[in-house]
Amino acid sequence: VRVRVAYKTALSINIYDIAKSAGVSIATVSRVFNNNTNVSPKTRQKILDVAESMGYHPRAFAQGLARRNTKTIILIVPILSNYYFMEILAGMQDKLLEYDYDLNIYNIKGFESVEELRHQVEYVMKKGLADGYALVSVHLPESDWESMLRFRTPVVLVDEFSPKFDSVSVDSIEGAYTATKFLIDSGCRCVAMISAVETSKPIRDRIHGYKRALEDSGRLVDADLIICGDDTYRDGFTEQAGYAAMMKILNHPSKPDSCFCASDIQALGALKAMRDAGKEIPIIGFDDIQISRFLGLSTMRQPMYEMGSMALDKLMDRIENPNRMVSHTVFSPELILRTSTTVLNQATETAQP
């Protein structure tokens, strides 16, 4: 017997109610909602009408149970409010239109440690709410990735690398190297770097690339010139942190005359710091988020949209072919020159307006 409060009652219209009203079996109702062609047009219309008038729609949970697949993929990201992520997302969403899948976003919130981050990611994956998972900017030690293999769930990594999972990323070492080398080769005497908390592979790689460029040019690496902001909110990937870091650079005894910045978002703060201080040095960021073009920030471009698009393809392929070989795509960041480096008077073949 179905006894519910008024409110719940209306919610619980189910396939049996529709079948009864339409004078058919539940199998037929199900066929209509699954676009099965083996239903007479008349019956189909009748069922559709009844369903519409009663506000019926198959319960996703029941479908998921019966079908054993969910037709949805979940995108897991630690920091949502982030231009970088937004462009990755855009690429995924557009690509998604080619598939009959839904996209759901899980924002990992309030993790204080890598362990907690891992737990939260695993928690989402274990519940089995999706057929596959795209993890964007989830940075975990290799041992954690290894252990995640046990879920045997289709996963694609974006902005991260682990041998056992499909991934799409950018060569951060190369990008940092290119940017730093450009500044050196343009005649800069002292190149500082704006960095952030070194918990993630990408940031470590960028520091690595920066150092290597200096070494390759016969410069001394001065750890004191790798500068962070004061607070570690969001691991230092904020305008504020970039602002503080640039202020330190401008007042640094070595008097840096140029700067490679680990991310565009920090570079935006750095740009403002320079305006406020009335001093300007060339700066190159990393990412090429939309606002960078707008503000004339030179940067190492990541093809974020394409990365999102490609990641989705990989994930779908993995869902359909679980045993396919793991594949990694690593893009080379592209140096985009804009006004934040024009004083260098460099050849501007690659420059954009």
State the residues that interact with a second copy by CB under 8 A. Answer: 5-8, 10-11, 55, 57-62, 64-65, 70, 80-81, 83, 86, 89-90, 93-94, 96-97, 103-107, 109-110, 126-129, 150-153, 239-240, 243, 269, 272, 291, 294-295, 322-323
CB of residue 144 vs DNA: minimum separation in angstroms? 23
CB of residue 11 vs DNA: minimum separation in angstroms? 8
Cβ proximity to DNA, 109 vs 152, nearer residue: 152
CB atoms near residue 249 (< 10 Å)? 27
**47 by DSSP, 3-state: which?**
helix
Residue located via tokens 């037929």: 28
Residues binding DNA (CB under 7 A): 2, 12, 14-16, 23-31, 33-34, 37-44, 56, 58-59, 62-63, 65-68
Cβ proximity to DNA, 58 vs 296, nearer residue: 58
CB of residue 147 vs a second copy: minimum separation in angstroms? 10
Q: How far apart are CA 78 and CA 81, in angstroms?
A: 9
Using an 8 Å Cβ cutoff, are 309 and 94 in contact? yes
CB of residue 61 vs a second copy: minimum separation in angstroms? 4
First vs last C-alpha separation in the chain:
71
Picked from DNA, a second copy, none, the partner binding residue 163 (CB below 5 to 8 A depending on kind) is: none
Picked from DNA, a second copy, none, the partner binding residue 351 (CB below 5 to 8 A depending on kind) is: none
**Which tokens in the block code for residue 233?**
């909110």
Handedness of CA 216, 205, 196, 303 (dihedral sign): positive
- What is the rounded radius of gyration, in angstroms, for the C-alpha atoms of the chain? 26
Using an 8 Å Cβ cutoff, are 114 and 66 in contact? no
Using an 8 Å Cβ cutoff, are 300 and 334 in contact? yes
Q: How far apart are CA 339 and CA 353, in angstroms?
A: 9
**Which tokens in the block code for residue 351?**
């420059």
Picked from DNA, a second copy, none, the partner binding residue 240 (CB below 5 to 8 A depending on kind) is: a second copy
Cβ proximity to DNA, 27 vs 149, nearer residue: 27
CB of residue 65 vs a second copy: minimum separation in angstroms? 5
Cβ proximity to DNA, 2 vs 150, nearer residue: 2
